[in-house]
Amino acid sequence: MPRSTPYTRFRTTLDAVMKKLNLSAAEKKLFSEPQHIHKAEITIKRDDGSKAAFPAFRVQFNNARGPYKGGIRFHPAADIEEVKALAALMALKTAVVNIPFGGSKGGVQMNPKELSRRELQEVSRAYIRAFLKVVGPDIDVPAPDVNTTPEIMAWMRDEFEKQTKSYSPAFITGKPLSYGGSLGRDTATARGGFYLIQELIDRAALDPQELKVAIQGFGNAGATMAHFLHNAGFTIVALSDSQGGIYSPEGIDPVRVEKYKRKTGAVAGEYCTGSVCDIKKMKMDGVQHITNEELLEISCDILIPAALDNVITEKNARKIKAKHILELANGPTTPEADQILEKRGIQVIPDILANAGGVTVSYFEWVQGRSGEQWTADRVDHELKRIMLDAYKAVRRQAYREKMSYRHAAFAVSIKRILDAMRARGWVIS
Ligand code: GLU
C-alpha cells in the first residue's frame, strides 16, 4: 500500500466526492493535481555567523475563482506533501464560503522556535524574494498559518514593496493593524467557528450551560475559541498545547490558563514543570494532567481539534465521546476515521467550513487594502457571520439532499462552484 501522506488522505476524500458527483475524466483531471508547485531553498546567516538552509514551498492549487490565496507555515513537518494538501484545502475553503479566491499554501520546513527574531525576519524576507515572481495582490495572496504571525506578515509586505518598488497593502493579509491589517482578523478563525457552534446549538435547541467542550491546541484559533465559548457559558473541560494539557470536569477558566501559558510557556504551567506535576495542587483544584491523545477521548459534547493534522485516526475514532467535532485545525481527521465517526453518528463540521472565518476576514482585509477603506469591527463581524451561515446552510442542504457527511457535502459544494467557474472560463469543454 502506498505511504499515507496528507495529500493521499486529501485525495481519498476528493476521489470519493468526485465519484458521487459523476465528474468526467477531464473534469477529474483538473482537480487532481496542483496547477503549480514552486520549490526553493532559503539560506540565511545565523546569529553565530554560520549559514543555515531550509526547504521552502509555494503550491498553487487552483485559481479558477480568483487569485490564489493561502497562508505560509513555518514547521518541521511542512514538506511538499503537506503543503500540497493544504493548498488544495484552501481552494475548496474559499469556494465553500464563496469568496473570489483560489487556493494555495506556503511552507518553510524548519523549527521557528530554534531561531532568534532576527533570523526569523531573515527567513521571512528570503521567502518573499524566493517566490517574488509568482506572488502578488492579483496573483497569489499569502497570509499567516501555523507559527506565522502579523509581525511576520508585516516583514513580508515590507520586503515585497521594497523588491517591487510599490505600495501594496493587498499583497498579504493577516497584517498588524498599524500596517494595513483589518479589525477582527486576529480573532476571525475562532469567531467564524463560534458562529457555526451557535447555529448548531440553536437548531438543536441545546443550552450552552449544559455543554462541555474540549479544545486541542492553544494557539491563536484554539485560545480565542476557548475565550468565546467560556464567555458564552459553555464549560471548557480540557485544554492542551504541544506539551500536553489539563482536564477538569468542573470547568477551566481560559483567562487563568492564558496567564500561566504566558508566564511558563505551557497550558499546564500552573501545575506542571515539564513532566513533574504538583499533584496536591491539582487535586485541590480538581484538575488532571492529560496528554494530547487523551484529550481527544475525553468525555465532552463538543471536541475542537485546533492544532495540527492527522490526530483523529482509525486508532482513536471509536473512543471519541464527543457528539460534535468542529475542526479548527486543517486536516485533523483521516478518511478512515471519518467513516467510523459517520457510522457512530458523530457530526463533524469539516475544516474547510469550520475554520474558513480566517480566510473570509483575509478577504475583507484584501478588499480594504485595494480600496483604501477601513471597515469597522461591527461591519467585519456582521459580514463574517452572514458568510459563515450562508456556507453552513449550503453544506447542510447538500448533506441532507444527497445523504452525505458534512465533509463530503462541503467538498461537493466547493467542487461544483470551482467547476462552474472553470466552465465559464472555457477550461472545461462539455
Ligand atoms: N491559514 C489560514 C487558513 O488555513 C488563513 C488563510 C488566509 O487567510 O489566507 O485558512
In short, whether 220's Cβ falls inside 6 Å of ligand 1 is no
Ligand 1 pocket test, pick from 68, 99, 189 with the greatest ligand atom count within 8 Å of Cβ, gives: 189
* pLDDT above 90: residue 118: yes
pLDDT tens string 79-115: 999 999 999 999 999 999 999 999 999 999 999 999 9
Q: What is the pLDDT of residue 157?
A: 98
For 326-370, the DSSP string reads E--SSS-B-HHHHHHHHHTT-EEE-HHHHTTHHHHHHHHHHHHHH
- Residue 126: CATH number of its domain: 3.40.50.10860
If phi over 0 gives left and psi between -120 and 50 gives alpha, with beta otherwise, what is residue 217? Answer: left
In short, whether 64's Cβ falls inside 6 Å of ligand 1 is no
Q: How far is the CA of 143 from the centre of ligand 1 (A)?
A: 6
In short, whether 70's Cβ falls inside 6 Å of ligand 1 is yes
Q: How far is the CA of 144 from the centre of ligand 1 (A)?
A: 6
All cell numbers assigned to 363: 478577504
Q: What is the pLDDT of residue 97?
A: 98
Kindly state whether residue 177 falls inside one of the protein's structural domains: no
In short, whether 104's Cβ falls inside 6 Å of ligand 1 is no
* pLDDT above 70: residue 47: yes
Q: What is the pLDDT of residue 308?
A: 87
Is residue 13 within 8 Å of residue 350, measured between CB atoms? Answer: no
Q: How far is the CA of 20 from the centre of ligand 1 (A)?
A: 28
| pLDDT above 90 coverage of the chain, percent | 96
- Determine the number of helices (DSSP H) and then strands (DSSP E) in the chain: 15, 14
Kindly state whether residue 94 falls inside one of the protein's structural domains: yes
Q: How far is the CA of 187 from the centre of ligand 1 (A)?
A: 12
Integer angstrom CA distances of residue 331 from 80, 88, 345, 353, 370: 15, 11, 20, 12, 31
Q: Which amino acid is at 335?
A: P
Kindly state whether residue 64 falls inside one of the protein's structural domains: yes
d(CA 152, CA 272): 31
Is residue 44 within 8 Å of residue 126, measured between CB atoms? Answer: yes
Which residue in this structure is represented by grid cell 524548519? 110
* pLDDT above 90: residue 307: yes
CB-facing half-sphere around the CA of 25: CA atoms within 13 A: 0
Kindly state whether residue 405 falls inside one of the protein's structural domains: no
Pairing of strands 276-277, 272-273: antiparallel
In short, whether 69's Cβ falls inside 6 Å of ligand 1 is yes
User: Closest by alpha carbon to 74, among 169, 6, 157, 142?
Assistant: 142
Is residue 304 within 8 Å of residue 328, measured between CB atoms? Answer: yes
Task: List the beta bridge partners of residue 186.
Answer: none
Name the band, by pLDDT with cuts 50, 70 and 90, for residue 430.
low
Query: Could you list the residue range(s) of the whole structural domain that residue 65 is in?
Result: 37-167
* pLDDT above 90: residue 240: yes
Ligand 1 pocket test, pick from 308, 359, 360, 367 with the greatest ligand atom count within 8 Å of Cβ, gives: 359
* pLDDT above 90: residue 1: no
Nearest CA to ligand 1 atom 7: 359
Q: What is the pLDDT of residue 277?
A: 92
3-state percent breakdown (helix, strand, coil) of the chain, nearest 5: 50, 20, 35
Q: What is the pLDDT of residue 274?
A: 80
Query: Which atom of ligand 1 is closest in space to residue 69's alpha carbon?
Result: 9
Q: What is the pLDDT of residue 132?
A: 98
Mean pLDDT calculated for residue range 384-393: 98
Q: Which amino acid is at 237?
A: V
Q: What is the pLDDT of residue 428?
A: 81
Q: How far is the CA of 31 from the centre of ligand 1 (A)?
A: 20
Q: Which residues contact 97 (CB under 8 A, 6 or more apart)?
A: 353, 356, 359, 360, 387, 388, 390, 391
Ligand 1 pocket test, pick from 75, 362, 365 with the greatest ligand atom count within 8 Å of Cβ, gives: 362
Query: Which atom of ligand 1 is closest in space to residue 71's alpha carbon?
Result: 1
Residue 393 among the catalytic residues: no
User: Closest by alpha carbon to 321, among 401, 263, 237?
Assistant: 237
Kindly state whether residue 366 falls inside one of the protein's structural domains: no
For 10-34, the DSSP string reads HHHHHHHHHHHTT--HHHHHHHHS-
* pLDDT above 80: residue 2: no
Kindly state whether residue 328 falls inside one of the protein's structural domains: no
Query: Which atom of ligand 1 is closest in space to residue 142's alpha carbon?
Result: 9
- Taking the CA atoms of residue 191, residue 268, residue 322 and residue 97 in that order, the dihedral angle to the nearest 10 degrees is 20
Kindly state whether residue 72 falls inside one of the protein's structural domains: yes
**Given 69, 93, 105, 385, the catalytic residue:** 105
d(CA 67, CA 80): 21
pLDDT tens string 176-234: 999 999 999 999 999 999 999 999 999 999 999 999 999 999 999 999 999 999 999 99
pLDDT tens string 338-373: 999 999 999 999 999 999 999 999 999 999 999 999
Domain count of the chain?
1
Kindly state whether residue 145 falls inside one of the protein's structural domains: yes
Name the band, by pLDDT with cuts 50, 70 and 90, for residue 275.
confident
* pLDDT above 80: residue 429: no
Nearest CA to ligand 1 atom 9: 70
Burial 338-374 (b: 16+ CB within 10 A, else e): bebbbeeebbbbbbbbbbbbbbbbbbbbbbbbeeeee
- pTM of the shown model: 0.96
All cell numbers assigned to 189: 478563525
For the chain, how far is it from start to end, CA to CA, in angstroms? 35
Supply φ then ψ for residue 282, to 5 degrees: -60, -45
Query: Which atom of ligand 1 is closest in space to residue 141's alpha carbon?
Result: 9
